[in-house]
Amino acid sequence: EAQVTQNPRYLITVTGKKLTVTCSQNMNHEYMSWYRQDPGLGLRQIYYSMNVEVTDKGDVPEGYKVSRKEKRNFPLILESPSPNQTSLYFCATIGQAGSQYFGPGTRLLVL
């Protein structure tokens, strides 16, 4: 079954404690991206990757890092989380036909 998986699904942490949200896909897609969803703002792109070792900033990259060492994985790293990064995060891939596939989401609360 084609899918995008994210872990953890829920996370509560404190300001400044580094964390990583993992994303993995089994569709061999080259394009992957991260979005955050906030009330009244919809989804906004954080970072994207067009292939292994190729990443670029989206619309709201501040405070985030990503890496793409393997095609299937695209982790999102928060080096020093702050309360304004409390949000719902989605990983997504893009297939050759242009359709995006979203993961189930990770709900993050930063205290």
Partner 1 sequence: GDSVTQMEGPVTLSEEAFLTINCTYTATGYPSLFWYVQYPGEGLQLLLKATKADDKGSNKGFEATYRKETTSFHLEKGSVQVSDSAVYFCALRGKTGFQKLVFGTGTRLLVSP
Residues engaged in binding partner 1 (CB under 8 A) = 4, 31, 33, 40-45, 48, 50, 58-59, 90, 94, 98-100, 102-105
Nearer to partner 1, 14 or 97 (CB): 97
Q: Shortest gap between Cβ of 2 and partner 1 (angstroms)?
A: 12
Q: Shortest gap between Cβ of 41 and partner 1 (angstroms)?
A: 6
Nearer to partner 1, 75 or 103 (CB): 103
HEC profile of the chain? CCCEEEECCEEEECCCCCEEEEEEECCCCCEEEEEEEECCCEEEEEEEEEECCEEEECCCCCCCEECCCCCCECCEEECCCCHHHCEEEEEEEECCCCCEEECCCEEEEEC
